[in-house]
Amino acid sequence: MNGKIGMRAFSTLLAVMLVSVVAVPAVSAEAQTTTGVDLEQYTIPELKMDRSIETIAISGMLSLQEEPGKAESGIYGIPFGSIVVHAADGITRVFDKDGDQLLSVSDERSEKIPTPSGVEKPCTWVHQIPDDSRAYYRGDTIFVLNPAGELILRVINEDTTSKPCPESTRGWTGRDWLESAEDYLNGITEYTAYWTVPSAPPSLEVGEMIYLFNVIQGDTPSRYLLQPVIRYNPQQQRWEGQAWGCDPDGPDLIGSTIVLNTGDTMKGRIYWDGVRSLWIVSLEDCTTGQSSVVTPDSIQPQSNCLVACALEGWYVDDNTDVPGDTNFYSMSYKAYGIPMTNVYLNPWYSSFAPQEIIGQCFVEIIQNPYQVKLHTAN
C-alpha cells in the first residue's frame, strides 16, 4: 500500500478544487435520499454462544456457499444469512441467521493472506461475497444484501485492539509496491484501465505473491482501497483475478475468483454509482468474458485520492519472482461523468525492496496519463 503524500502545481490544484467544490455536495445530498436502504430493519438476533464448539484453524477465506464447509482450495464456505463476529479475543465466530453458533475459528492459527492493501491478514478476515451483492458499512458492521434486498451476510468487527496498522507496511517488511505510476486527485468518481496479463514470474514460490492493479485509495474515514486485481498464484501456478474492497484496519470484501491466462486483455473499472451511493469495482477478462465484482459504500468520493497503476510484491527477493512487462492503456479518469484533464502521472519506485529487482524496474509513461508500461527484468 502506497502511503506517500502527493504534490502538485497550484494551477492544477485550483482546477481540481473547483471540480470538487461543485460536485461533492450534490453527491452527498444524493447519498442521503436515493439509497433507499433502511439498514435499521436488520436487527441482530441474540447470539447464542456454544462453548462446546471446538476452536479450529482454517486455510481458506470465508465465502458464502450453498453447502458450507471447505469448498475448495482457498475457500471455506459459510451459509447465506451468516453473522460473522471478529472478536477482540482473536476468535472469529460464525452464527446462522437465527443467532445459533456454527463455527469458532482462531485468527492466529489460521492461514494468513497477503492482501493487495499491503496488510497480511488471517483468512478469516477476508470475505468473498456474490458479485451481484451490495455492501454497506455502518460503524463496526458491514451489511451485505442481495439484489432483492435480502440480508445475506453481516460482518461485525469487535477487534478494536489488534488491528494492523497501515503505516507499518511502509518500508521493506516483505511487501511493497515495487513500481507505479500515480497522482493524487480531488473528486474522482471513475477510473478505468486496460492491461494485458503478462508472462508469469519464472520461479515464484509458495508464500510469495505478485499483484497488478489499478486503484483508487481514499484517506477518510480510513484508507480504503478499491482495486481490480490480478495476482500470480504460485501454488496453482496460474494468474487469477478478483475485485477487492480493502480496509487495512478491518475485514476485506472480494468478488469471485476468475482464472486468467498470459495474454488475456483485462479491464479494471472503479466507478461511483451516484444513484445507489455505492462504488462498483469490477475486473473483466475481455478475452474470456469472465468478471469479478464487489460493490461497497466504504468511502465517499473525496479530495486527495491516490490513483495509480501498480506492481506489488510480497516476499520477492530476486528477478525470478517478478512477471514480465505490463502495459496499462486506454486509462480514463472522470469526476461525475466529466473527463478530468488535470491528471499527471508520476513514476514511483520502492526505496526498500531488493535493489536487484528495483534496479531493473522502469515506469515508462508512454502517453500521460493514458498509457504506462511497468517494465521489469523479465
Give residue 18's pLDDT: 33
Prior bond of 221 cis (ω within 30°): yes
Complete DSSP assignment for 218-276: --SSS--EEEEEEEEETTTTEEEEEEEEE-TTS-EEE---EEE-TT-EEEEEEEEETTT
What does the DSSP 8-state code read for residue 60? S
Query: How far apart are alpha carbons 215 and 195 in whole angstroms?
Result: 13
Give residue 328's pLDDT: 98
- How do strand 252-254 and strand 126-128 relate by DSSP bridges? parallel
Give residue 172's pLDDT: 67
pLDDT per residue as tens, the chain (378 positions): 554 333 333 333 333 333 333 333 333 323 333 356 889 899 989 999 999 999 999 999 999 988 777 666 688 999 999 999 999 999 999 999 999 999 999 999 999 999 999 999 999 999 999 999 999 999 999 999 999 999 999 999 997 654 544 444 445 678 999 999 999 999 999 999 999 999 999 999 998 999 999 999 998 767 899 999 999 999 899 999 999 999 988 999 999 999 999 999 999 999 999 999 999 999 999 999 999 999 999 999 999 999 999 999 999 999 999 999 999 999 999 999 999 999 999 999 999 999 999 999 999 999 999 999 999 999
What does the DSSP 8-state code read for residue 34? S
What lies within 8 Å, CB to CB, of 322 at 6+ separation is 178, 201, 210, 311, 313, 316, 357, 376, 377, 378
Give residue 160's pLDDT: 64
What lies within 8 Å, CB to CB, of 69 at 6+ separation is 76, 77
What is the CA 298 to chain-centroid distance, rounded? 11
H-helix segments, the chain = 10-33, 355-358
Give residue 90's pLDDT: 95
- 12-31+166-375: what fold? Jelly Rolls (2.60.120)
Domain boundary assignment for the chain:
12-31+166-375, 52-157
Grid cell in block for residue 336: 461525475
Query: How far apart are alpha carbons 242 and 255 in whole angstroms?
Result: 6
Residue of 119, 168, 166, 116 lying closest to 352 (CA atoms): 168
Residue of 55, 80, 63 lying closest to 124 (CA atoms): 63
Q: Could you tell me how many helices (H) and strands (E) the chain has, helices first?
A: 2, 28
Name the percent of the chain in helix, strand, coil, to the closest 5. 10, 45, 45
